[in-house]
Amino acid sequence: MNVENIKKITVVGAGVMGNGITQVCARNGFKVMMVDVNEEVLKNAYKQIKDGPFGLSRLVEKGKIKSDEMEQIINNIESTTDPREAAKDADLVIEAVSENLELKKKIWNQYDELCPEKTIFASNTSTIMITDQAAATERADRFIGMHWFNPAPVMKLIEVIRGALTSDSTFNFIVEFSKKLGKIPVEASDSPGFFTSRFISEFMIRGVRMFEEGMAGIKEIDTMCKLGFGFPMGPFELMDLTGIDIIMHAGEYVYSITGDPNDKAPITLRKLVTAGYIGKKPGSRGGWYDFYNIK
Ligand code: NAD
C-alpha cells in the first residue's frame, strides 16, 4: 500500500483521540469515515472538530486556514455507527476505542472479517501490546501501533510500534503516512506501555512515591519540575489532566506483564481513584489538589 493511493481512512472510536485524529487526516486531504457506537458521540465529535479548543474554527481565527478550506475539510469527513459501512473499501483503519484489550480484540476480529484483505490496521493504544491485538486477526503482518499524543491536532510525535509480525512494508507505510500528516514518527518495539507511556508513567509514579515517602509535598514536586527543570507541568498536574484512573489502569496492565514493582500503581493513587478523585474530567470529584485541599 502506498500513501498516495489511500482513498478511505476509517477511524474507529470518535472520542478525545478519535476526533482529533480524524481532524488531522481530513485536514491533510484524506477522506475519513468516523465510527462510534451512537449518533450522540458522533455529533459531539463533529462539534469538537469544528469548535473545540483545538478545532478548525480556531485555525480560521488564527488565519492558518480560510473558512472555505474549513468547509472542504469537514466535507472530507463522513460518519456512521455501522461497522459494515465503515469497513467497506477502507485502506487504513485507525482504532481509538477505550483502552481495554478485550474490547480492542473484539473490534479487530470484527473488522478483520469485514475489511478488504489489503486494509492496514493501526491501533492508537497507549499501552496495550500490538502483538496481543494482532493475534485477534489474520493479518498480523498488516497490523501496527500508531500512537498519537493528546491533543492530536497539536502534538507532533507519533510512536510507531512494530508488533512481532509487522511487515517492513506496513512499518514504512505508517512512517510515510505520519510524515504526510506533518508529524514526526519515532520507532518503538512492542512492550507494555512501549517507551513513551512507560517513561511518562514512571515520571508520575516517581512523584507519588516521593510524596508517600514524605520527601516533599505535591505542590513542591510540581513546582520543582516547572521552575527547576523547565517542564510545562509536574507529575500531579499531569495526572489531573490525563486522568488519575488512566494512570492506575496503565500501571496495573504494565505490572501484570513485567512484574516489576516499579511499574505498579502506588497505594495513594489507588486511594484517590477508589474515592472518585480521577482528575479534571466529568464525573470526577477532583484531582490531587482537591483531595489534599492544596491551594
Ligand atoms: P475516549 O473514551 O474519549 O473515546 C473512546 C471512544 O471509543 C468512545 O467514544 C466510545 O464510545 C468508543 N467506542 C467504544 N466501543 C466502540 C465500538 N465498539 N465501536 C466504535 N467506537 C467504540 O478515549 P480516548 O481518550 O480517545 O482514548 C482512545 C484510545 O487512545 C485508547 O486506547 C487510549 O489509550 C489512546 N490514547 C489516549 C490518549 C489520551 O490522552 N486520551 C493519548 C494517546 C492515546
> What is the structure's pLDDT at 109?
98
In order of 2, 26, 151, 190, the CA distances from 242 in angstroms are: 35, 26, 11, 23
Do 34 and 27 contact (CB within 8 A), yes or no?
no
CA separation for the pair 210, 224 (Å, rounded): 12
> What is the structure's pLDDT at 104?
98
CA separation for the pair 97, 36 (Å, rounded): 8
Residue 13, C-beta contacts closer than 8 angstroms, at least 6 positions apart: 35, 36, 95, 96, 97, 98
Q: What is the pTM of this model?
A: 0.95
CA separation for the pair 68, 60 (Å, rounded): 10
Compute the distance from residue 249 Cα to the ligand 1 centre, in Å: 14
Q: What is the DSSP string of 18-70?
A: HHHHHHHHHHTT--EEEE-SSHHHHHHHHHHHHHSTTSHHHHHHTTSS-HHHH
C-beta of 122 in contact with ligand 1 (< 6 A): no
> What is the structure's pLDDT at 244?
96
Tens of pLDDT along the chain (295 residues) come to 899 999 999 999 999 999 999 999 999 999 999 999 999 999 999 999 999 999 999 999 999 999 999 999 999 999 999 999 999 999 999 999 999 999 999 999 999 999 999 999 999 999 999 999 999 999 999 999 999 999 999 999 999 999 999 999 999 999 999 999 999 999 999 999 999 999 999 999 999 999 999 999 999 999 999 999 999 999 999 999 989 999 999 999 999 999 999 999 999 999 999 999 999 988 999 999 999 999 9
> What is the structure's pLDDT at 47?
97
C-beta of 227 in contact with ligand 1 (< 6 A): no
C-beta of 1 in contact with ligand 1 (< 6 A): no
Question: Does residue 151 have a cis bond before it (omega within 30 degrees)?
Answer: yes
C-beta of 233 in contact with ligand 1 (< 6 A): no
Q: Whose CA is nearest to atom 44 of ligand 1?
A: 126
> What is the structure's pLDDT at 281?
86
> What is the structure's pLDDT at 59?
96
The SS3 assignment for 120 reads strand
Q: Whose CA is nearest to atom 31 of ligand 1?
A: 99
From the alpha carbon of 97, which atom of ligand 1 is closest?
7
C-beta of 41 in contact with ligand 1 (< 6 A): yes
Q: Which amino acid is at 36?
A: D
C-beta of 16 in contact with ligand 1 (< 6 A): yes
> What is the structure's pLDDT at 198?
96
